Amino acid sequence: MSGVADMFRLDGKRILITGASSGIGAHFALVAAGAGAEVVAAARREDRLAELAERIEATGGWVRTVALDVTDAASCADALKKAGPLDILVNNAGVSNLGPAAKTDDDEWQRVIDTNLTGPFRLARDAMALNIAEGRQGVVVNVASILASRAAKSVAAYAASKAGIANLTRALALEWATKGIRVNALAPGYFDTEINEDALAGEVGDKIRRRIPMSRFGELDDLTGPFLLLASDASRFMTGSLVTVDGGQSAGV
C-alpha cells in the first residue's frame, strides 16, 4: 500500500498555485504542502497569502508567496521569475459573473475572459516554454468547471471562459505531449466557496442542490484526491483529460 500512496506524493516538486488566497486555491496549497511540495502561493490579496503561509509553515511545510494579478502580463512575468523553475502549475484563479447576457458590457466580459482564460494561457505558455527549453518535464492543472461542457443562464462570460479552458487544456496537451509536459483539468461542480456563496444562497441554492444526485454541494476535501491525481505521477499516462467532480450532476440531462 505504501507504494500506491507514494504515487500521489509531490516531494520536492515546485508548484505554483494561482488564486491561492482563499477557497479551492488555498486548499490546494495546503494539500500540496502536506504531500511534500515546495508551494508557491500566488494571488492579489497578499494579507490572505501571509495567513496561508503561516498555516503551512506551522505544519513544517515549505512555502513562498508572490503577488499575482493574472490579468496583468507584467505581474505574471514577475511571479514566474520569483517562483523559479516549476514542476507543476495550477491555474486556479478565477472570477464569475452573474447577470443577463444582454446586460453584460464589454468591460465585464473582458474581466472574466482575461482572468479565467487569457491569464492561464499566458502562465502555462511562459512557464512551460522554460521547461521545454531546458528539457524538463512539467505538469499543468487547469481548473475548469462543469459549465465547460454545459450551459446555465446568466453566466455567459463564465461559461464561455471555462469552455475555453477545457479546449485550451486539450490543445496544449496535444502540442506538448512529446515534450514531457502533461496538461489536464479539473471540472468542479457546485462548491460553496467565496466565489459563488451569494449565488448558492437561499432559494436559488436549494434549486441547484436538488439537481445534484448526491443532494449536496461539494466540500473542499472532495477535490483532494482528484487534485493529487492530476498533480502527481499517479496520472503519468494522462494528458488532455477533464476530470469531473460534481456529485453526479453531469451524468444526467
Please list the active-site residues: 158
Distance of CA 98 to the CA centre of its chain: 20
Q: Are strands 181-188 and 242-245 parallel, antiparallel or unpaired?
A: parallel
- Asked whether the beta carbons of 112 and 97 are under 8 A apart, the reply is yes
Instruction: Tell me the C-alpha distance between 249 and 233, whole Å.
Output: 28
Other Cβ atoms closer than 10 A to 151: 10
Instruction: Tell me the C-alpha distance between 89 and 185, whole Å.
Output: 11
Burial (Cβ within 10 Å: 0-12, 13-18, ≥19) of residue 253 = exposed
Expressed in angstroms, the distance from the first to the final Cα of the chain is: 38
Instruction: Tell me the C-alpha distance between 105 and 110, whole Å.
Output: 9
- C-alpha cell at position 150: 454545459
Instruction: Tell me the C-alpha distance between 209 and 212, whole Å.
Output: 5
